[in-house]
């Protein structure tokens, strides 16, 4: 590559964050962090200066030589450089940007707040509509209950992730939604790589948008159940809505379990600009326990990033709060649900006069739920065994 002529670069975005500058192409979500002086050099290349001219400018400005060849190789590797006869990339067309702006407009926020407020009034006036584990048991068929909740959960998860996407699209980011598999589980994933190219304060809403969606959907399902009951619809209609709403409450609480690296965790990490505060907080908690046992700490605080060390002073208690919340949620919802299901299944197996289909229903329910845990465990154990066996064979 000649260094005496200007090079063509694709349209780039520059986000100055003090000592570092994020540079990237939003159309392909390719980003890199440069020191401020290096970013200034890239800006001059983008403005039309040749690599040699940029090198001379850098030496005059900073008193050291710039490795122009290495800089150009890095830019080419990131696909920032227009290669040969390749056309210059056009600004990415961000679909659904208007919809994202409409959803999170003042009117959109007012509508969502109104739904939540109305649902709150309904819950306050009639305890039947308050979230409770009993709402999960809206039918005598355990299998039908399981399948109906699964069918209701998938669309709600998609809405949750779609709010993340729309919150990113409103900023002009090429955020996307995809379906994937983890082991045997279908998952919905949101890609928000472009968040690194917008100011830090603009990243908060895309991170929290899923929780906004969960809150609104809980309210909408509760109001729908209330309206269906008042209109004289079949009781099952409102019951399914309340069951789905209760599942939404569990997912909303789950986001507060920061030890699971949830949306709230990434919000904290972004707001306080940490590197890996989660690992540091866990290490500090482990050392706290060792001190209580009059043992020497195992970790050296000087090896931690100063920002992580400062934030972990209080974040480790947030981490503990997440575990406490998990225990509370287990006691409030999971254990009562498990006890009730166990009693229902045991009663059907023990009662010889019970209909055969009720026993079959319970058996299929148990098999279906156990399979969700047994199959991934078996597959994981097989992968582990194969890796260990192959390593042993090589040695």
Residue 182 has pLDDT above 60, yes or no: no
Residue 24 structure tokens? 């990237």
Residue 1 has pLDDT above 70, yes or no: no
In this prediction, residue 284 has a pLDDT band, given cuts at 50, 70 and 90, of very high
**For the chain, where are the alpha helices, taking DSSP H only?**
36-47, 51-62, 68-77, 97-103, 106-125, 142-169, 204-230, 235-254, 263-271, 277-292, 306-329, 335-350, 356-394
pLDDT of amino acid 374: 73
pLDDT per residue as tens digits for the range 95-112: 889 999 999 999 999 999
pLDDT of amino acid 181: 53
pLDDT per residue as tens digits for the range 18-76: 788 999 998 888 999 999 999 999 999 999 999 999 999 999 999 999 999 999 999 99
Residue 5 has what DSSP assignment?
A: S
pLDDT per residue as tens digits for the range 285-312: 999 999 999 999 999 999 999 999 999 9
CA 218, 220, 222, 228 torsion-angle sign: negative
In this prediction, residue 184 has a pLDDT band, given cuts at 50, 70 and 90, of very low
Q: Which of 294, 357, 309, 307 is nearest to 140 (CA)?
A: 357
pLDDT of amino acid 260: 86
- Mean confidence (pLDDT) of the chain: 89
Residue 366 structure tokens? 């148990």
Pair 12, 25: CB distance under 8 Å: yes
Collapse the DSSP code of 179 into the 3-class scheme (helix H, G, I; strand E, B; otherwise coil) and give the result.
Answer: strand
Within a 10 A sphere around the Cβ of 311, how many other Cβ atoms? 22
């Amino acid at each position: 590559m000649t260094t005496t002529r200007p090079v063509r670069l694709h349209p780039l975005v520059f986000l100055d964050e003090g000592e570092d500058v994020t540079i990237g192409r939003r159309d392909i979500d390719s980003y890199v962090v440069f020191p401020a002086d290096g970013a200034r050099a890239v800006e001059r290349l983008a403005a039309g200066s040749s690599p040699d001219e940029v090198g001379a400018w850098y030496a005059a400005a900073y008193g050291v030589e710039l490795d122009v060849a290495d800089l150009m190789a890095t830019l080419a590797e990131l696909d920032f450089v227009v290669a040969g006869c390749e056309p210059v990339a056009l600004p990415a067309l961000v679909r659904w940007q208007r919809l994202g702006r409409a959803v999170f407009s003042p009117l959109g926020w007012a509508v969502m707040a109104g739904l939540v407020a109305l649902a709150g009034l309904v819950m306050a006036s009639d305890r039947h509509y308050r979230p409770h584990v009993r709402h999960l048991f809206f039918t005598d068929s355990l299998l039908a209950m399981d399948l109906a909740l699964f069918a209701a959960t998938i669309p709600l998860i998609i809405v949750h992730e779609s709010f993340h996407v729309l919150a990113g699209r409103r900023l002009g980011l090429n955020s996307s939604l995809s379906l994937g598999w983890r082991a045997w589980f279908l998952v919905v994933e949101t890609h928000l790589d472009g968040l690194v190219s917008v100011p830090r304060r603009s990243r908060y809403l895309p991170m929290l948008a899923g929780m906004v969606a969960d809150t609104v959907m809980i309210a909408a399902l509760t109001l729908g159940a209330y309206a269906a009951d008042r209109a004289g619809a079949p009781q099952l209609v409102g019951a399914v809505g309340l069951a789905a709403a209760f599942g939404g409450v569990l997912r909303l609480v789950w986001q507060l379990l920061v030890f699971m690296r949830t949306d709230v965790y990434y919000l904290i990490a972004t707001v306080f600009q940490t590197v890996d505060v989660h690992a540091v907080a866990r290490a500090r908690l482990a050392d706290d326990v060792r001190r209580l046992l009059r043992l020497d700490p195992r970790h050296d605080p000087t090896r931690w990033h100063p920002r992580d060390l400062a934030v972990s002073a209080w974040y480790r208690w947030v981490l503990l709060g997440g575990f406490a919340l998990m225990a509370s949620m287990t006691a409030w919802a999971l254990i009562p649900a498990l006890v009730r299901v166990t009693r229902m299944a045991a009663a059907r197996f023990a009662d010889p006069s019970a209909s055969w289909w009720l026993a079959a229903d319970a058996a299929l329910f148990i098999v279906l739920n156990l399979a969700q845990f047994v199959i991934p465990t078996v597959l994981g154990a097989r992968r582990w065994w194969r890796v260990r066996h192959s390593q042993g064979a090589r040695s």
